[in-house]
Structure 1
Amino acid sequence: MKSKTKFSKKLLPTLNGTGQGYFTQPTISNKQIIFVCENDLWQVPLEGGRAQRLTSSRSETHSPVYSPNGQWIACCTMEEGEHDVYLMESSGGPLQRLTWLNSVTHIVSWSHDGQYIWFRSTHQAVHSRGSDAWIFRVSINGGPVERLPYGPAMTVDLQVNGKKGVVLGRNTLSNSRWKRYRGGMAGEIWVDKNNSGNFKRLFRDLQGNPVSPFWLRERLWFVSDHEGVGNLFSCTPEGGRLRQETFQKEYYVRFPATDGKALIYHVGGELWTLDPEENSGPERETQIPIGWHSTKTRLQRRFFYGDEYWEETMIHPQGHEVALTARGKLFSMPFWEQAVRQHGIRDGVRYRMPCWLPNGKLAAISDAPLKKNKTKKLSAMEEQLDVFGSTPTEFPDCSHRLPPGRMQEIAVSPRFQHLALTTSRMELFLINAETGRISKLDDSKIREISDPVFSPDGRWLAYTKHLSLELTAIFLLDLKPSANGKRIKAKDPVQITQPVRYDFSPAFDPEGRWLYFLSSRIYNPIWDTVQTGTSFSRSMKPYLLTLKKDSPNPFEALPHAPGGQETGGTPAGDSSHETQDSNNSTTKQSKDSKKVALEIDLDGIAERIVEFPVSEGVYKQIIGLPNKVIFTEFPLSGALHDLEAEDNQDKDEGILWVYDFEKQEAETIAENVGIVQTSVPDESENSSRTMLYSSGDLLRALEAGVSVPEDTKTEKQHSRKSGWLDLRRIRISVQYQEEWAQMFQETWRLQKEFFWTEDLSGVDWKRVYQRYARLLPRIGSRSELSDLIWEMQGELGTSHAYEYGGDYPYSPRYPVGCLGADLVFDSKQKSWIFQKIYSGDIWKPNEHSPLAEPGVSVEEGERLLAVGGVPVDEHKTPGELLVHQAGQIVPLSVGQGTSKKKQVKGPKGQVSSVKNFEDDARQVLVKTLSGEQEVRYREWVRENIKTVDSLTGGRVGYLHIPDMSTHGIAEFHRGYLAQVDREGLIVDVRYNAGGMVSPLILEKLAHRHLGFDVPRWGTPESYPYHTLRGHLIVIANQFTGSDGDMFTTSFRQLQLGQLVGKRTWGGVIGIDGRYQLVDGTTTTQPQYSIWFHHAGWSVENHGVDPDIQVEDTPQSYINNEDPQLERTVKEMLRLLKEKPVLSVNYSPSPRRLLPE
């Protein structure tokens, strides 16, 4: 009779009073468990007890799997800088690296004999983001890796005890990050009962997301959430007699593992077990009592410098120091002298939007507790305005509540203690920083209000507001403040510009004469160079409004005598400047204008618009100075390799211009500029102002409006003369446990504020917070926090709730140099063969194999003999010798071989005779690639074009769109324009990763062919240009997502053609990625849900069903077939037969005879 494992009821004490760690990814062998916690491997008996740490990694170690005999542990880690397979003894010891691929994502399983490790990798992947990662295997002795032929998969498991069943899992890694997911990428379980290569998919109609399939004795087990919460289920190999095995109610079951005897799994940070021989029921599940002692090294305080993590800045009104936030902490820093001061609570709080008040106090938005040593209740988990004195203190002088929503932009009155705040709820408020009094000024029904700015006297507020989705205008509001600013009697807002497109970025002239703004209103077409089309990429210019009716155009200079002083555009008839000859002091004018309340003639103000005499371009900011104005312009450049930035405004590549009204000219004063600020001295100050601008990670402070000195921007030149600030003077201390708790709370708060429905689609979000916040004390590493955030956001049951980036433990990177080729080891001849060389785009640097370079010309079939003079063999692989060589010039020895033989010894000392390749070896120098995905993708597209061309006799074209972003729009036009004259076109959007350009592609495909432009000589051309006459078919699969979903459903709604393949991903609630947490993590909030006339809301969490369903079975990959492409070609040929695209039979040309 089988002995029963006994579990201790007493948990052993642990450090820090947390009770336990966050235990994940367990594996089991002979009643011994190894699991992951704090990025390391730990071991504990199945019955519980004290856990022992096995590794102390500087990087993240994950997905450990015991060997069948329990002697070894295979795992994935980055100890040498890249994700690869490592091996260690299960009792502990050094890690031995087995692969050099840069791309191992998970250890999957072992072969039954324990000689091979199976792992998942994007090695040799054609498509990005892991959508076509395959299963590979490697010997425990290292050496060549072998790709299993089943196609893209996440898991594979073999039956034991003489059984031959193979279960393959696709999309089956985890279902907890998008809970209750039902889209086209839901888990697929494929079973080959006899290991014959004939797979059958189970549970096609199961309304759930089955993941993590594995064999346990005669039954197949897996995790599914079709009953609501992810639990373990089991069935027969045919998919029959489905039975629930676990009954968790709150947290999903994750990471199940078995050694064929016991079964273990993760639930809510704990490890659980059950006896598979007992009858199914909740009572057989047992939590494993783990006594866990850890030094918690990843929670120990760390220190950083301000240049790494500064976020937002505001220059002091007097122009001598800056307030800024760095990693959520609040600092003030004199530019070059004296001490840096930190304000507010040191840890567990985020400060943002720092600003100086006119009285010298420092204000910031904060999520700090209102009282010392008090934790905020969930119902009060909002931000407030904290006001600090000049002396550093932990708690503010006062705190004020804020309007509803998230504060988005802030502006400070130069005279009163007033702050203008815009909110996420599209409202504009004024708050008195002394009294806390809040006044609502305006709201919008369309988009957020932006760009608030006060007039020099604090009376007026200008800002940008949407008139429609396509128009923004400048608005002006008279606040009518009392003499001390305690009260305001604001009038109704007045629209003061008539936009053609977008008017934005208002700014006041310090002397009260003009209001500047930027505007997109110039429709000067720029012709496209590859197709018939135009763009309006340089549509902006600076403009100004004259605030007085009698003020003339300031760009028209007044007449003056030869050799006399120029008037420089001083407005004739402007009474405020009649004394210029007697007192030619701009400073005095500026002072005098501040002492008098600014009066504005609102009647007809929109008509008093004047254009700056500068070229149109892309402008971002404009700021008024005494008798000058500065503005930033950004160059145009391609976006193909910069997916993060929509344009150069998102990078600090701007040009800073100054326009001098006295000289009547504009000049460049700085380059590589980002955001610019200037000080605003009160009337007691002189007119000299300071400007502060960002340039990458740097900040620079100089006199405003003056050309900056030449500088190399090195650290040694941080000085008053150069203007560069030494941000390393800012020293940041981080207590991770407090920081992570704040990040977790802010993530929850952002979803609460920005999720696209107010009730979060019915999810009890407070309950969700309480469920996962109780696990926070367990968290001991940054990756564990990420996992917890994903779990929490997954409860929304919605797409695009992401978390990525952040401060992870530093692991030096030593990437493997790539050759853009398939290298296969010839076991008979004991040498490495260049089986396939990927030419890619040979004219593009870094996008083709270096072996195809002119002068190198290595051919397929040749042998690689040595790398850097070191011979390669079965155990010394090319990848091992190319570590840390990415992007480097490397000498290779290659050869074809001769008829001569040589003797070699095998691993057991046996001698064999093999071909001698050294006789004709030659040396070549190649510059390795840092990755091969692009060159492999190009080859895949090229082969598909050849296939379609061959099967259709050149009548049908083919193109692939990898995403709906910059790469996708480029690939579409590359393929479309070259093949638009075909009788049909296949548009392949399989593996499309989404983006935002689907409307542009649909617009092109929807153009109707109306006729021809017929010349005397040459070929007639379609009218409209580049329109397709023939048939269209789109291919999609489960990896077609986001904007790819929107493209496919819109293609159907427009009735442009048929859709072939598989149901798409089903995620169409958009994001904008605006918000980062304090350590640089980006979290996204599903904000923009799409509704279609023909489909309503149904695409989200379902996908788009094809007209013709074509499964890509594992056996199709085994047979090297593409059934979806083949079926599409077949359908296209049918259409061409039934509805041929006939050649044009022009009617007789008109006759124009002369009259007789």
Structure 2
Amino acid sequence: MGRRIVLVLALLVFFASVPLLARSEESRLMRFPDIYGDKIVFTYAGDLWVVSSNGGTAERLTSDAGIELFAKFSPDGKTIAFSASYDGNMDVYTIPVKGGVPKRLTYHPYGDMVLDWTPSGDKILFRSTRDSETNPGPRIRKLYTIDRNGGYPEKLPLFEGELTSYSPDGKKIAYNRMSREFRTWKRYRGGMAQDIWLYDFEKNTSESLTTFKGTDAFPMWYKNSIYFVSDRDRTMNIYCLDLATRNTRKITSHTEYDVKWPSLGQDKIVYENGGYLYVLDLKTEKTKKLDITVPAEKIFARSTFKKVGNMINGYEISKTGKRAVVEARGDIFTVPEKKGDWRNITQTPGIRERDPAWSPDGKWIAYLSDRSGNYEIYLRKPDGTGDEIQVTKGSHGWQWSLLWSPDSKKILFSDKTYTLYYVNIDTKKPQLPRKIDKDNWSDIYEYSWSPDSKWVTYQKSGDNHFGSIYLYSLDKDKSYQVTSDFYDDYDPVFDPDGKYLYFFSNRSWNPLFGNFEHNFSYVLSSEVCVATLQADTPSPFAPESDEESVAASEKKDEGKAEKAEEKKESKKGSKAKKSKKDKDTEEKPLKIDIEGLEQRVVALPIGPGNYYGLSAAKGKIFYVSVPTLPAMAQGGEQISAKLEMFNMEKRKESKVIDGINGYALSADGKKILYRARSTFGIIDASPGKNVGDGKIATQSLEMKVDPQAEWEEMFNDAWRLERDFFYDPNMHGVDWQQMKKRYGVLVPYVAHRFDLNYVIGELIAELCSSHTYVYGGDMPKTKHVNVGLLGCDFAVDKKTGLYEITKIYKGRNWDKRYISPLTLPGIDVHEGDYLLAINGTELRYPTNPFSLLENAVGRQTVIKVSSDAAGKKAREFTVVPIANDIWLRYNDWVEANREKVAKATGGRVGYIHVPNTSLIGLNEFASSFYPQVNKDGIIVDVRYNSGGFIPDMFIERLSRKFLALWARREGNSYRTPWAAPKGYLVCITNAFAGSGGDAFPYFFREKHLGKLIGTRTWGGLIGISRGIRLMDGGGITMPDFGLYDLNGKWSVENFGVQPDIEVINYPHLVVKGHDPQLEKAIEVIMQEIKANPPGIPGKPKYPDKS
């Protein structure tokens, strides 16, 4: 009973605050430094600054809303190359050391990160995900150089490359093959641990220079030594590798903060540590902390008014629907239905309020606030006047879903401990809440009050993970299970009249068969159910019969007598006058017959569906219906729902509104607040409404944002979220309070939202856990200018300066993700053609072809091509450039591997690549698995698998065995099951396979399906199941479940899955076109096939039954 918020698409003691003010003379969080002679360049608050290498006051070099990073001095010290996001994409720029207008060098729509200059100083080295083909993620980067004056980048002859340093003569590089410098995971020891590799360009040879099980990164080649960063003593410090002796020694000895982003100058290294800059003199190997003052305006830390209508999370509706209450960016607002203005009733910078709930009597708005350092329940009057009242104390962690009782005296809520509570607000003093029940499997978040406010109904999970309905008596402080766990029941709601209990139940079995195998799943399983609370109450759907009614005069007299008696009793009970409305709120104690309640359950006559979000009004119930769709929405579309109403008296279902994402029902049951993406509206609780009806002015909501106060709150919130949800209550042995102090001292120095993410990332990285991520937030806005792609590779003809189309990537043009513009019907363009012009503008080096494709995505673009450089055979075509070509490159890589396997095995072995274990991976697996089940073997490639779902559904299919065969008179015998691999299986994996990509080979081995080949996987099987945003829309992840094996031991995490046969794809072999891991898989599976060819018994001789 009561108002219930339905979020349709979300189915699934305070520690001292850090000080807000930093000493003005001191600067910290100077990042990504580089040094040349007596100058240092670094990023501060998103801009580039230059300062003396001895410290002092820095001078601004750039000023733009777009962030500028990774600055590097040219070898002559006159120019600085850097990466910047001026047009919404990270590109390479240069600027004179003395300042000026940045010159743009790259235009490709994928990010480009400056790494260094070539020793000669004529080119800039950068890394980019462009041309990455192994995963549509993508998962790897490649190395490129570009002329300091611009032109077209040249790719280095390496399959993958990250942080890189040239030898003094430029003939070799020391580099990392993998990137982890932005990973928030300290003391990492998994398969992706970085090593320093050496590559010789002239000899095409490669070797690993380090083999430490942890991190060896940021190689810096100085004379005959490689300086680098390593966590060999658990904290990142600088080490030196002597190339002659191959001995390694430690150079720095920081113990509190990691060494970050070291960069080599002529004979010095500059680096970050704890937000400060240090300089290491390589002649003496002594390090010095620099005292630097950055006289920045800190414009991104200034208080300013911002629109917040697109940041609404929690929302509710008032008693009669005259106003809505919403939570936006940590404040609570009320918004009128029609007349008046919105109000910010909290206005608390640096304090986050959320999950508002309006009392049924209209007098209070309850919400959660972290004012005390932990989230507690508070009350405030709807007009914002008066003092805020704290209701609870002693919080056990993150709480949600406040629900008022109908008498407006109590509030239900649940928390992260899977516990349901209520608190009595009569005292208006902080008190400990009363525990109702605790689930052992999941959150309790579906609950409701009885109309007399003396009972609570809720759903609780059983050991079979099915939900059961419970009733809790406040008077007896006792819970009763009223439905069994044989069915999956959820979302119970009391009837306002006290006659019925409504709930949903997954008890309808409607198998849906697949098109590719004889298998099924169950959809549309929910029923809307109703149970009578009293044993003598008739079924709401009992047979009806038309009969003559009692005479009207008799009923009238009878009614007068009843009213007289009521009036008499009322006077006896109270001297004060009471309105009819007041008497209605004095509910009689509700009678509930617990015994036999489940036998009194009937289903509404509407048929099964996907139902959620149940609410009840007098004689009516409301619920949302979600269509059966693919496992996940594709193409970025959002799933929307239909709000239905069922009239109990008329026994009729009607559509209220379609296309919504959630709704709330007013306390009187007469009004509905709906949400349809960014649109909110208040409508009558009756059929026939459309999105846009009753629209309220949420888009005009505005508040004064104090970034520094918000940044402090979000840091504390991130700390609390990990404290509350991390799967190990001991926090992996980390002193979590100490970590808050260590990184909290950096928060007052944050001057850009990007830097707050860095500080939070360093904090959560101390957990030494996979899946600790920080993302998003209210970053400074820059206009995004798209750049179109044609799905091809270019090469510059050095004789003519023309651009030759060297490769056109074939697509799957029936799939919108794989459309290849130059392969569509009517486009007569071939490999070897020259691209002469784009939209009438001649193209010739040094003009970058991508510079002529700005703002071209999805727009008709005229290209001029010719098979000869002179243009005698020129022809023009209108094409539509695409936003990215990663799908085309991925498709090309997969098909090349499949062809290689087929050719090497005579077509006897199939090939499947699984890019992730989410929707894309499911589809790629299925589309390759079913056509190849009849092969003598299948190579399953999970290299570069980026994870997703727990992949047991993949393994189930791979582990199927034939049970029998069925003979027909004509044709071949039919197998059961049909979709089972006929032959042998081999799995290839590598360090880039993580999360679900770890679990896949782990399960593959546990089921003894075949050999694992490749290298050790990422090692990340502490997973995430929640998504809780921070105040400004950014977020972190809280790893909340970890894998342990059937022997009761933690497994895989921070190590990975070790293959049976280790094979390293050495760079020099890959450069020559080899894939040693795939080649080894072919060798192994063919050995198995030849040793014992898989076969199926032939049809036996028919029996003689004469």
TM-score of the superposition, structure 1-length normalised? 0.89
1:777 partnered with 2:735:
no
Q: Which residue of 1 aligns with 2:942?
A: 989
**Matched ranges for 1:201-280 at <5 A:** 201-204=208-211, 206-237=212-243, 240-278=246-284, 280=285
Q: Is this contact kept in 1: 2:611–2:623, CA < 8 A?
A: yes
1:69 partnered with 2:76:
yes
Q: Is this contact kept in 2: 1:21–1:780, CA < 8 A?
A: no
Which letter maps to 2:334? Answer: S
Select the residue among 356, 361, 364 that pairs with 1:362.
364
How far is 1:345 from its partner?
4.7
**Matched ranges for 1:888-967 at <5 A:** 888-897=859-868, 915-917=869-871, 919-967=872-920
Cα distance in 1 between the residues matched to 2:1065 and 2:770: 24
How far is 1:360 from its partner?
3.4
The percentage of counterpart residues that share the same residue type is 29
Q: Is this contact kept in 2: 1:630–1:705, CA < 8 A?
A: no
Q: Which residue of 2 aligns with 1:4?
A: none
Cα distance in 1 between the residues matched to 2:178 and 2:1032: 30
Per mean C-alpha deviation after superposition, the further-off stretch among 1006-1015 and 393-402 is 393-402
Cα distance in 2 between the residues matched to 1:1043 and 1:362: 47
Distance 1:226 1:329, change over 3 A: same
1:94 partnered with 2:101:
yes
Select the residue among 1048, 1057, 1072 that pairs with 2:1001.
1048
Q: Which residue of 2 aligns with 1:378?
A: none
Q: Is this contact kept in 2: 1:363–1:385, CA < 8 A?
A: no
Which letter maps to 2:682? Answer: A
Q: Is this contact kept in 1: 2:136–2:887, CA < 8 A?
A: no
**Matched ranges for 1:669-818 at <5 A:** 669-681=656-668, 689-708=670-689, 710=690, 713=692, 722-818=693-789
How far is 1:794 from its partner?
0.6
Q: Which residue of 2 aligns with 1:39?
A: 46
Distance 1:924 1:680, change over 3 A: same
Q: Is this contact kept in 2: 1:1035–1:1124, CA < 8 A?
A: yes
Cα distance in 2 between the residues matched to 1:165 and 1:731: 57
Which letter maps to 1:702? Answer: I
How far is 1:318 from its partner?
2.7
**Matched ranges for 1:585-664 at <5 A:** 595-639=587-631, 642=634, 651=638, 653-664=640-651
How far is 1:639 from its partner?
4.1
1:514 partnered with 2:500:
yes
In the alignment, structure 2 segments of 5+ residues that lack a partner are: 1-20, 551-557, 567-578
Per mean C-alpha deviation after superposition, the further-off stretch among 61-70 and 386-395 is 386-395
Distance 1:747 1:1124, change over 3 A: same
Which letter maps to 1:983? Answer: D
Cα distance in 1 between the residues matched to 2:686 and 2:826: 54
Q: Is this contact kept in 1: 2:165–2:174, CA < 8 A?
A: yes
- For residues 539-592 of structure 1, give each alpha carbon's deviation from its aligned partner in whole angstroms, at most 9, with x where no partner exists: 112111111212222234521169x99xxxxxxxxx99x999xx9xxx999986
Select the residue among 151, 157, 169 that pairs with 2:176.
169
Select the residue among 37, 59, 80 that pairs with 2:66.
59
- For residues 447-476 of structure 1, give each alpha carbon's deviation from its aligned partner in whole angstroms, at most 9, with x where no partner exists: 222212111221211111111242111111
Distance 1:622 1:70, change over 3 A: same
Select the residue among 825, 828, 831 that pairs with 2:802.
831
**Matched ranges for 1:175-214 at <5 A:** 177-192=184-199, 195-204=202-211, 206-214=212-220
Cα distance in 2 between the residues matched to 1:802 and 1:41: 26
Cα distance in 2 between the residues matched to 1:579 and 1:1027: 74
Cα distance in 2 between the residues matched to 1:1125 and 1:394: 71
| Secondary structure, counterpart of 1:1079 in structure 2 | coil
Distance 1:271 1:738, change over 3 A: same
Q: Which residue of 1 aligns with 2:9?
A: none
Q: Is this contact kept in 2: 1:175–1:209, CA < 8 A?
A: no
Distance 1:662 1:444, change over 3 A: closer
Q: Is this contact kept in 2: 1:193–1:237, CA < 8 A?
A: no
Q: Which residue of 2 aligns with 1:131?
A: 139
| Secondary structure, counterpart of 2:350 in structure 1 | coil
Q: Which residue of 1 aligns with 2:570?
A: none
Cα distance in 1 between the residues matched to 2:800 and 2:303: 56
Select the residue among 1028, 1031, 1038 that pairs with 1:1085.
1038
How far is 1:817 from its partner?
0.7
| Secondary structure, counterpart of 2:478 in structure 1 | coil
Which letter maps to 1:602? Answer: I
| Secondary structure, counterpart of 1:549 in structure 2 | coil
Cα distance in 2 between the residues matched to 1:195 and 1:786: 42
Distance 1:253 1:130, change over 3 A: farther
Cα distance in 2 between the residues matched to 1:1095 and 1:833: 60
- Which is bigger in relative contact order (C-alpha 8 A, separation at least 6)? 2
| Secondary structure, counterpart of 1:450 in structure 2 | coil
| Secondary structure, counterpart of 1:285 in structure 2 | strand
What RMSD over aligned residues (CA atoms) do the two structures have, in Å? Answer: 2.4
How far is 1:530 from its partner?
2.4
How far is 1:343 from its partner?
2.4
Cα distance in 1 between the residues matched to 2:387 and 2:708: 21
Cα distance in 2 between the residues matched to 1:931 and 1:176: 25
Q: Is this contact kept in 1: 2:508–2:526, CA < 8 A?
A: yes
Q: Which residue of 2 aligns with 1:376?
A: none
Distance 1:776 1:1115, change over 3 A: same
Select the residue among 137, 148, 158 that pairs with 1:150.
158
1:460 partnered with 2:458:
no
How far is 1:176 from its partner?
6.7
Distance 1:997 1:752, change over 3 A: closer
Q: Is this contact kept in 1: 2:989–2:1017, CA < 8 A?
A: yes
Q: Which residue of 2 aligns with 1:10?
A: none
Aligned length: 1060
How far is 1:194 from its partner?
7.6
How far is 1:394 from its partner?
8.3
| Secondary structure, counterpart of 1:271 in structure 2 | strand
How far is 1:195 from its partner?
4.8
Q: Which residue of 2 aligns with 1:547?
A: 533
| Secondary structure, counterpart of 1:457 in structure 2 | coil
Q: Which residue of 1 aligns with 2:416?
A: 424
| Secondary structure, counterpart of 2:446 in structure 1 | strand
How far is 1:1016 from its partner?
2.4
Distance 1:992 1:501, change over 3 A: farther
- For residues 1012-1050 of structure 1, give each alpha carbon's deviation from its aligned partner in whole angstroms, at most 9, with x where no partner exists: 233222233322121112110000000000111111111
| Secondary structure, counterpart of 2:379 in structure 1 | strand
Distance 1:762 1:232, change over 3 A: same
TM-score of the superposition, structure 2-length normalised? 0.93
How far is 1:163 from its partner?
7.0
**Matched ranges for 1:459-498 at <5 A:** 459-480=454-475, 490-498=476-484
Q: Is this contact kept in 2: 1:990–1:1035, CA < 8 A?
A: yes
Q: Which residue of 2 aligns with 1:568?
A: none
Which letter maps to 1:454? Answer: W
| Secondary structure, counterpart of 1:252 in structure 2 | coil
Cα distance in 2 between the residues matched to 1:1143 and 1:593: 75
- For residues 1088-1136 of structure 1, give each alpha carbon's deviation from its aligned partner in whole angstroms, at most 9, with x where no partner exists: 0001126831310000111111101111232121111011101111111
Cα distance in 2 between the residues matched to 1:590 and 1:820: 72
Which letter maps to 1:734? Answer: V
| Secondary structure, counterpart of 1:1004 in structure 2 | helix
Distance 1:639 1:445, change over 3 A: closer
| Secondary structure, counterpart of 1:199 in structure 2 | strand
In the alignment, structure 1 segments of 5+ residues that lack a partner are: 1-13, 371-380, 481-489, 566-574, 682-687, 714-721, 898-914
Cα distance in 1 between the residues matched to 2:593 and 2:807: 75
Q: Is this contact kept in 2: 1:185–1:1065, CA < 8 A?
A: yes
How far is 1:246 from its partner?
0.7
**Matched ranges for 1:846-865 at <5 A:** 846-865=817-836
Q: Which residue of 2 aligns with 1:1147?
A: 1100
Which letter maps to 1:1131? Answer: V
| Secondary structure, counterpart of 1:468 in structure 2 | coil
Select the residue among 1090, 1111, 1120 that pairs with 2:1064.
1111
Which letter maps to 1:695? Answer: A
Q: Which residue of 2 aligns with 1:8?
A: none
